[in-house]
Amino acid sequence: MRTRLALLGGLVLLLALALAVYLARKPSPEQGGGPIVIGVIHSLTGPLATSEAPLVAAIRLAVDEINRNGGLLGRRVEIRIEDTKSIAAVTGASAARRLINERGAAALFGCGGSICRNAVRAVVEAQRHLLFFPMAYEGMERSPHIIYTGPTPNQQVLPATDWAMNQFGRRVYLVGSASLFPRRVNTMLRDFIQLAGGGVLGEHYVKLDGTEMPEAVAELQALKPDLVLSTLSGDSNRAFFDALVAAGLTDLPLLSFTAAEPEMRAFGGGRLGRHYTAWSYLQSLPGPGNVAFLERLHALNGPDIQASDPAVASYVGVHLWAAAVREVGGTQIEAVNANVVQQSASGPLGFAAVDAQTRHLWRQLRIAQVRPDGQLAEVWQMARYIKPAPWPAFRSTDHW
């Protein structure tokens, strides 16, 4: 009898110890306490500010919505912003380290381009942190510490180029900023255009200040392409649009991959008669959901703020992160990072679901023509959502 009681007592003790270990390892809900801080990394000054300021406005809106609904786990969410001043190659990594190590950011949101993303990627991977990156980019990447809410080339650049060549012709000219994203995307485009039976007549890269634009426009006048594909960033779009107007090339078909509503309105993109762009989200989309989103955005940030696809991708990223925090019951980065790949959200992007294999979003594609007022009018839509494929199939992954 005593032996049985001893065995039973030992079993109870083992079960109690096992339960204690389980509860110690299980993330506990972080109810109450101080605010949850998130870090934002964007250029609010310099030639990229026109493009990136709306992304910060959209992040503010997402956080405001969360806080108006009780916050996260009973805690307010607060934003800490680092201005990378349009020189993210210099400032991006230090901004990320400050937000993580000094500000205690639970997640990072931002980067307006691939140079910034690469700088911040090194930090978040070294510190096992988490970045939500909202921009269209060149693909060829899958970091276990980044969620990519912007489109990959197979979701934007490649199908839009196919549409444009069918509309306007297959003699193509490439113009872009002298940075990572344009050069890598144009390498893909050369392959893609050749496979589609077209040809690239010329390729030109300019600095962000647009000082080399006259040479590009002179080459356009000499080569007379059927179609121009642009990956220009920030204020260099203004210089390009001005130069095309001055040269009388306002009827030349132009497809811009990096300019959306903020750039078109600020830089006069609507002066060009056959100017198109390719995104999932357009500010002009009908429906009560988008109207309500824009009303909230303008109420918080002022009536002049322009929504854009990258801005909406930023907004969606915050809500995906918040959903993961709620589900795991805390802000522990490893747990949130593991959970967020299972999340989806309905909103201005439509149904935004994370593809767990690639850590990118499934996306729609719309082609829009730029109106004289700088707004975008949809002219074509792909009927299905596009699965992200960061590595294009026409070269091996090792080659990319």
Task: Please count the structural domains in the chain.
Answer: 2
Which is it for strands 146-148 and 131-133: parallel, antiparallel or unpaired? parallel
Residue ranges in the chain modelled with pLDDT below 70: 1-32, 395-400
The reported pLDDT for the residue numbered 181 is 95
Secondary structure (DSSP) of 121-187: HHHHHHTT--EEE-S--------TTEEE-SPPGGGTHHHHHHHHHHHH-SEEEEEEESSHHHHHHHH
Please check whether residues 231 and 373 belong to one and the same domain: yes
* Residue position matching structure tokens 């609904």: 69
Please check whether residues 114 and 138 belong to one and the same domain: yes
Model pTM?
Answer: 0.91
Q: d(Cα 289, Cα 273) in Å, to the nearest integer?
A: 30
Is 390 within a domain? no
Please check whether residues 241 and 373 belong to one and the same domain: yes
Please check whether residues 371 and 223 belong to one and the same domain: yes
Please check whether residues 202 and 314 belong to one and the same domain: no
Is 239 within a domain? yes
Is 204 within a domain? yes
Please check whether residues 311 and 263 belong to one and the same domain: no
* CATH number, position 331: 3.40.50.2300
Please check whether residues 200 and 316 belong to one and the same domain: no
Is 189 within a domain? yes
Is 339 within a domain? yes
Task: Provide the residue range defining the domain that includes 242.
Answer: 154-280+367-381
Is 170 within a domain? yes
Please check whether residues 307 and 351 belong to one and the same domain: yes
Is 356 within a domain? yes
Give the torsion sign (CA, 60, 62, 65, 71).
negative
Q: d(Cα 184, Cα 190) in Å, to the nearest integer?
A: 10
Please check whether residues 53 and 138 belong to one and the same domain: yes
The reported pLDDT for the residue numbered 210 is 74
Based on C-alpha coordinates, what's the Rg of the chain? 24
Please check whether residues 350 and 315 belong to one and the same domain: yes
Please check whether residues 221 and 315 belong to one and the same domain: no
* Residue position matching structure tokens 């509503």: 261
Which is it for strands 275-279 and 254-256: parallel, antiparallel or unpaired? parallel
The reported pLDDT for the residue numbered 169 is 98
Is 397 within a domain? no
Compute the residue count for the chain: 400
Please check whether residues 221 and 176 belong to one and the same domain: yes
The reported pLDDT for the residue numbered 16 is 45
